[in-house]
Amino acid sequence: MGSSLRAHRRRIARKRNRDYQRLNPGPRPRPARRAAIQHAGSQRTARKAAPRGARATRAAPSGKTRLGRRRVAVIAGAAFLTLAAAASQLAIPPLLTSKVRAKLQQIATVRSLSISCGFPAVRALWGDLDNVQVHLGNVDAQRLTNGGAAENSGSGDAKSSLSSMASGVADATVQADQVTLQRPVAQNLDLRKTGQHLRLSVVLEPAAIAPVLASSLGLPAGTAVQLTAAQSDLVLLISSPEFGGTIRLRLLAGNGTVEGQIQPTPEMAAQMGLPAGISPLPQPVLHSKAITISQLTATRHGSHLNLTATGQLTH
């Protein structure tokens, strides 16, 4: 009974399908699931059959992928900068030391030279140095002042280069065993720089440096000059018949420079219209826009004079 009923229903269904096909010619609609499966299969078949260049492009990277790539780029850039900085810390100080040594050798014999740079060392290329230690043997003062034969030696360029570099050094010590100007005029020079503050100590040879001072002051030939110290002041004794005896020229620090105050003989005082025992006001004898002198003291030890000066760089 049941089987005959199912057979009857199938006959009715086939009859309905034939009637539907007769009234609606064309492909029959498939169920949704079977249509989706068949569509996916056709897509896979098309991709396999298509040439490699004609296949669909990959999807754009997601946000996490882009963020990962950025992190890799940042890490790579930081690593490159770190390596470059480390290389400059190792390479720049020796190069700069060689350059400074070449400049110093134009005016002196170099016994030792040490230069330390802060971080990053590239600042040193613009003269920004942490510490410089220099020990010189003999310093040729004539070359240092760019006089005489030094004009053709390039020492003037060396002097200007070293001066401009000194302004950028935080701390420096310059020692020299001897300073000569045709003959030794000083020894045991010790110059220290801390920030903008300067301190100089040097042992002078009075007999050798006195004629140099007389020439720089424009004194007439044949004038006897002697350098000594009195009450911590550096004193130049000048003797000439034109002055009617010996006058004393006190060299002292004042108004940011080295000044000279004349203590005239009675005959010179009368010629100048000064009362006896009165000295004219000090006058500048050393002009420098780069340095101000705050203190100048001298003490005598045997045949030598110990000179100490302190000052400040103005720029």
Q: Where are the domains of the chain?
A: 84-195, 206-313
DSSP helix, strand, coil percent of the chain (3-state; round to 5) = 40, 35, 25
Q: Indicate the pairing of strand 129-140 with strand 169-180.
A: parallel
Which range is least confidently modeled, 102-111, 138-147, 248-257?
A: 138-147
Task: Encode pLDDT of 125-180 as tens digits.
Answer: 555 677 889 999 999 988 877 644 444 445 556 556 566 666 677 788 999 999 99
Q: What is the pLDDT of residue 138?
A: 95
- Of 162, 158, 180, give the one whose Cα is nearest residue 172: 162
What sign has the CA pseudo-torsion 268, 273, 278, 283?
negative
Stated pTM of the model: 0.65
What sign has the CA pseudo-torsion 117, 99, 169, 297?
positive
Which range is least confidently modeled, 39-48, 52-61, 182-191, 304-313?
A: 52-61
Query: Is 293 or 23 the better-scoring residue by pLDDT?
Result: 293
Q: Label residue 234 exposed, middle or buried (CB < 10 Å: 0-12, 13-18, 19+).
A: buried
Q: What percent of the chain has pLDDT over 90?
A: 19
Which range is least confidently modeled, 49-53, 172-176, 294-298?
A: 49-53
Average pLDDT over residues 241-245: 74
Which range is least confidently modeled, 3-12, 43-52, 101-110, 281-290?
A: 43-52
